[in-house]
Amino acid sequence: MLIRAYTPHDLTPLTDLTIETFRPFYEDSFRPLVGETVFAVQHGNWRDDYRTQVAGLHAPERNAHVAIAQVDDAIAGYVAWTVDPAGRKGTVVLLAVADGHRRHHVGTGLCEHAFAHMREGGAEAVEIGTGGDAFHAPARSLYERLGCTPIPVTVYFREL
């Protein structure tokens, strides 16, 4: 596996990977859980939201970076992070690993790569978050293996 810097040619494949990775959460988990009204209000445009978000992830002038994991000629995953040197904090904004590359240490390699760059950028701590549902269980397991401490948070939704 090669971890390399983002290039503008990566935008479309990363956007597609993000949508493919998180589709099961939005369509198979979140939507049935909260119902159509809450889903439409909260995440009804989730694909377009990702198209916008992914396009703005790599902005070195804002201390925002993306690294790509490549296996052979295929993108296996990517990590996006920001660094606030004044606050001495790094944040993993997004981590996505292609289905066929999960459980092969791609996520671990990407996180360790981002953590190292955060340290170089002046961060002394990192924030990385995920959901508490079954879909996000592999991410929670990865983050705990990396030595991250979970902080329980509960979010409620209700149709009005």
Percentage, residues of the chain above pLDDT 90: 91
Six-digit token string for 102:
């999960």
Superfamily of segment(s) 2-145? Gcn5-related N-acetyltransferase (GNAT) (3.40.630.30)
Mean pLDDT of 82-108: 95
CB neighbour class for 118 (10 Å; exposed up to 12, middle 13-18, buried from 19)? buried
Q: Which residues contact 71 (CB under 8 A, 6 or more apart)?
A: 1, 2, 101, 106
Q: Is residue 82 over pLDDT 90?
A: yes
Record the pTM: 0.93
pLDDT band at 153 (very low <50, low <70, confident <90, very high): confident
pLDDT band at 92 (very low <50, low <70, confident <90, very high): very high
